[in-house]
Structure 1
Amino acid sequence: MAKVLLCIGTNLGNRKHNIERALNAIDKYAGRILKTTDIMETKPFGVTRQPNFLNIGVLIKTEHPPFLLLNILKRLEKKVGRYPTYRWGPRVIDIDILTYENLRIGTKKLKIPHPGIKERDFFKKALELTKEGAL
Structure 2
Amino acid sequence: MTVCAYLALGSNIGDRVLTLQQAIRKLHEQPGMQVSRVSFVYETDPVGYVDQDAFLNMVVAVETSLSADELLNAALSVEKELGRVRTIRWGPRTIDIDVLLYDQATIQNEHLMIPHPAMTERAFVLVPLRDVWEGEALPVYNQSIDHFLSQLAEDHKGVRKWGAINWETESGPSES
TM-score (norm 1): 0.93
Partner of 1:23 in structure 2?
24
Partner of 1:114 in structure 2?
116
CA-CA distance at 1:6 after TM superposition = 0.4
Structure-1 separation of matches of 2:70 and 2:135:
27
Structure-2 separation of matches of 1:66 and 1:113:
11
Structure-2 separation of matches of 1:73 and 1:25:
9
Percent of aligned pairs with the same residue?
Answer: 34
Partner of 2:50 in structure 1?
48
Answer yes or no: is 1:78 the counterpart of 2:92: no
Structure-1 separation of matches of 2:115 and 2:135:
18
| 1:54-73 alpha-carbon deviations (Å, 9 max, x no partner) | 01110000010000111111
The two structures, once aligned, show a CA RMSD in angstroms of: 1.4
CA-CA distance at 1:105 after TM superposition = 0.9
- Give yes or no for contact 1:4–1:98 (8 Å, CA) kept in 2: yes
CA-CA distance at 1:131 after TM superposition = 2.4
Any stretches of 5+ residues in structure 1 without a counterpart?
none
Residue 94 of structure 2 is aligned with which of 92, 97, 103? 92
Structure 2 counterpart of 1:27, which letter?
H
CA-CA distance at 1:18 after TM superposition = 0.5
Q: Which has the larger radius of gyration?
A: 2
Any stretches of 5+ residues in structure 2 without a counterpart?
137-176
Structure-1 separation of matches of 2:58 and 2:128:
8
CA-CA distance at 1:78 after TM superposition = 0.7
- Give yes or no for contact 1:85–1:91 (8 Å, CA) kept in 2: no
TM-score (norm 2): 0.72
- Give yes or no for contact 2:102–2:114 (8 Å, CA) kept in 1: yes
Residue 102 of structure 1 is aligned with which of 77, 101, 104? 104
Query: Which protein, 1 or 2, shows the higher relative CO under an 8 Å CA cutoff with sep ≥ 6?
Result: 1
